[in-house]
């Protein structure tokens, strides 16, 4: 019987195939020490992806698509016998059009590279997140990633005009629409956006660009109560005339934890407020925008919506403020082992959610730390929880506390990271039976042999 790897050698150059122990560790996801995938394939174009999938489908072999492996829910994890298809060599930028304002690129292009290229023609690629140096366009699309600019530009889905994907039987579905308006039949790209590599492998995409902002006005704010926080969001959203580009909130435990664990981090405000907000306005006129921004914050201060504010005076100041929100993985390491969460709910319920979570954690565990922060303007909070161990039993208990409250509030257990393997047991707490049944019907119809990322999202 022909070894499947020998068949792959007739499709792609042998030097782009790695087998068993030769697969570098970065492709193995969280199961690094458990089991090796059978092989890693690194195709360079859609036709190679198509031929690989035909072979895998005929032989009923499991395929795991991988981009930059920055996903946080185990969507790219592999088991023994799996075939990894890494899209990293589909990394060509085909076109950047400043008039239509589109980027046309391969799925393996790294976000930061795309952002830099787009910047050269004075445009902006709206998707941005901490993993910009490793996440790929295909990975961002297949997880429908959120990030720092959702309040202004929406999730990745909003920026995808078209894409090309290969379905399980090897069919190349080229739907490279570049128009904003196209209502000719079903919007097929939506099947592949956010489906975490379970309905097809994305090979190319058309991304909508925006004019590059010429000004970034950034401030760090201290607030004493949740009603003022909500009012401050509504006020700035209106007052900055659509320019609000980020509204990131940190609960006091988060701020204090960064302060005490990260001595080199420059903290702009004293540790006495209940909430801290990193607010940013994007605009086109550096002088007038800064005036407008300063006036709005002055009004908020005078009217007691906020208690204190520090405004960035330079790009260096701005980066220092963002570091408090973004560059804190060292702090989380110190709290390790940790469990992390990415939930969404109506903004009005967030105070109750935070208080209830901390109360329940306090009565369930003798010693626990719960840090809450996130993209509050998008209804999205992140939690970092430490209970002193990472036993499955503890993890389940914390999951049940957090997802139980989320479920009661009608929120979502995954705001932006996806479901992958990590959250699939809890999908039913956030999606009803009919929704999950329809997902399974779609999966069966596009991938009848269930070769594409099976066991991710749902069983």
Ligand X SMILES: Cc1cc2nc3c(=O)[nH]c(=O)nc-3n(C[C@H](O)[C@H](O)[C@H](O)COP(=O)(O)OP(=O)(O)OC[C@H]3O[C@@H](n4cnc5c(N)ncnc54)[C@H](O)[C@@H]3O)c2cc1C
The site for ligand X (CB under 6 A) is made up of 64-72, 75-76, 87, 107, 129-131, 134-136, 138-140, 142-143, 145-147, 196-197, 201-202, 416-417, 420, 453, 456
Return the HEC string of the chain.
CCCHHHHHHHHCCHHHEEEHHHCCHHHCHHHCCCCCCCEEECCCCHHHHHHHHHHHHHCCCCEEEECCCCCCCCCCCCCCCCEEEECCCCCCEEEEECCCCEEEEECCCEHHHHHHHHHCCCEECCCCCCCCCCCEHHHHHHCCCCCCCHHHHCCHHHHEEEEEEECCCCCEEEECCCCCCCCCCCCCHHHHCCCCCCCCEEEEEEEECEECCCEEEEEEEEECCHHHHHHHHHHHHHHCCCCEEEEEEEEHHHHHHHHHHCCCCCCCCCCCCCEEEEEEEEECCHHHHHHHHHHHHHHHHHCCCCCEEEECCCHHHHHHHHHHHHCCHHHHHHHCCCEEEEEECCHHHHHHHHHHHHHHHHHHCCCCEEEEEECHHHCEEEEEEECCCCCHHHHHHHHHHHHHHHHHHCCECECCCCCCCCCHHHHHHCCCHHHHHHHHHHHHHHCCCCCECCCCCCC
Nearer residue to ligand X within complex by CB, 139 or 454: 139
Shortest Å distance, C-beta 342 to ligand X: 8
Tell me whether residue 147 or residue 411 sits nearer to ligand X (CB atom): 147
Q: CB nearer to ligand X: give 46 or 177.
A: 46
Q: How far is the CB of 213 from ligand X (least distance, A)?
A: 19
Nearest residue to 325 via CA among 136, 129, 152: 129
User: Given the complex with ligand X, which of 112 and 215 has the nearer CB atom?
Assistant: 112
Token pair in block for residue 45:
């174009």
- Per-residue tokens: 238: 């209106």
Q: How far is the CB of 114 from ligand X (least distance, A)?
A: 12
Q: How far is the CB of 135 from ligand X (least distance, A)?
A: 4
In the complex, least distance from residue 30 CB atom to ligand X, rounded to whole angstroms:
11
HSE-CB of 88 using CA atoms within 13 angstroms: 16
What is the Cα–Cα distance from 325 to 172, expressed in whole angstroms? Answer: 41
Q: Which is nearer to ligand X, 133 or 362 (CB)?
A: 133
Smallest distance, ligand X to C-beta of residue 304, A: 32
Report the residue number, 91 or 252, with the smaller CB distance to ligand X: 91
Least distance in angstroms from the C-beta of 90 to ligand X:
8
Q: Least distance in Å: CB of 202 to ligand X?
A: 4
HSE at residue 316, side-chain half, CA atoms within 13 A, is: 1
Minimum CB–partner distance for residue 155 and ligand X (Å): 8
Q: Which is nearer to ligand X, 131 or 331 (CB)?
A: 131
| Least distance between ligand X and beta carbon 116 (Å) | 17
Nearer to ligand X, 35 or 303 (CB): 35
- In the bound complex, which residue of the shown chain has the CB atom lying closest to ligand X? 139
Closer residue to ligand X in complex, CB, 130/404: 130
Query: C-beta of 140: minimal distance to ligand X in Å?
Result: 4
Closer of 202 and 279 to ligand X (Cβ): 202
Distance (Å) of CA 371 to CA 277, 290, 402: 15, 32, 13
Select 131 or 384, whichever has its Cβ closest to ligand X. 131
């Amino acid at each position: 019987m022909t070894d499947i790897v020998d068949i792959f050698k007739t499709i792609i150059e042998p030097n782009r195939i790695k087998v068993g122990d030769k697969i570098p560790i970065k492709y193995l996801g969280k199961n690094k020490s458990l089991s090796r995938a059978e092989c890693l394939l690194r195709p360079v174009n859609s036709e190679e992806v198509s031929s690989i999938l035909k072979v895998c489908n005929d032989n009923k072999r499991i395929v795991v698509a991988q981009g930059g492996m920055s996903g946080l829910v185990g969507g790219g994890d592999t088991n023994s016998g799996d075939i990894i298809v890494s899209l990293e060599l589909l990394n060509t930028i085909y076109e950047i059009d400043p008039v239509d304002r589109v980027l046309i690129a391969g799925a393996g292009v790294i976000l930061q590279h795309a952002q830099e290229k787009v910047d050269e023609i004075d445009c902006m690629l709206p998707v941005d997140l901490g993993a910009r140096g490793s996440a790929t366009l295909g990975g961002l699309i297949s997880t429908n990633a959120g990030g720092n600019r959702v309040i202004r530009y929406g999730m990745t889905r909003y920026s995808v005009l078209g894409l090309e994907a290969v379905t399980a039987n090897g069919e190349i579905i080229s739907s490279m629409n570049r128009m904003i308006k196209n209502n000719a039949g079903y919007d097929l790209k939506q099947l592949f956006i956010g489906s975490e590599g379970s309905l097809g492998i994305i090979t190319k995409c058309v991304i909508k660009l925006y004019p590059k902002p010429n000004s970034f006005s950034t401030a760090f704010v201290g607030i004493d109560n949740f009603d003022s926080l909500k009012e401050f969001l509504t006020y700035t959203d209106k007052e900055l005339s659509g320019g609000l580009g980020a509204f990131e909130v940190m609960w006091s435990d988060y701020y204090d934890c960064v302060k005490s664990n990260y001595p080199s981090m420059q903290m702009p405000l004293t540790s006495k407020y209940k909430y801290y907000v990193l607010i940013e306005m994007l605009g086109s006129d550096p002088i007038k925008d800064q005036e407008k921004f300063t006036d709005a914050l002055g009004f908020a201060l005078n009217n007691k919506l906020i208690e204190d504010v520090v405004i960035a005076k330079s790009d260096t100041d701005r980066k220092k403020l963002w570091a408090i929100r973004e560059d804190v993985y060292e702090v989380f390491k110190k709290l390790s082992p940790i469990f992390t969460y990415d939930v969404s709910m109506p903004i009005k319920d967030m105070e109750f959610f935070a208080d209830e979570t901390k109360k329940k954690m306090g009565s369930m565990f003798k010693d626990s730390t719960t840090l809450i922060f996130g993209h509050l303007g998008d209804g999205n909070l992140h939690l970092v929880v430490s209970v002193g161990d990472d036993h499955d039993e503890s993890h389940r208990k914390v999951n049940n506390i957090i997802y139980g409250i989320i479920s009661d509030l009608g929120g979502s257990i995954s705001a932006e990271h996806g479901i992958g393997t990590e959250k699939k047991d809890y999908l039913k707490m956030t999606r009803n039976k009919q929704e999950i049944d329809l997902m399974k019907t779609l999966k069966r119809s596009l991938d009848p042999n269930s070769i594409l990322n099976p066991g991710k999202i749902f069983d």
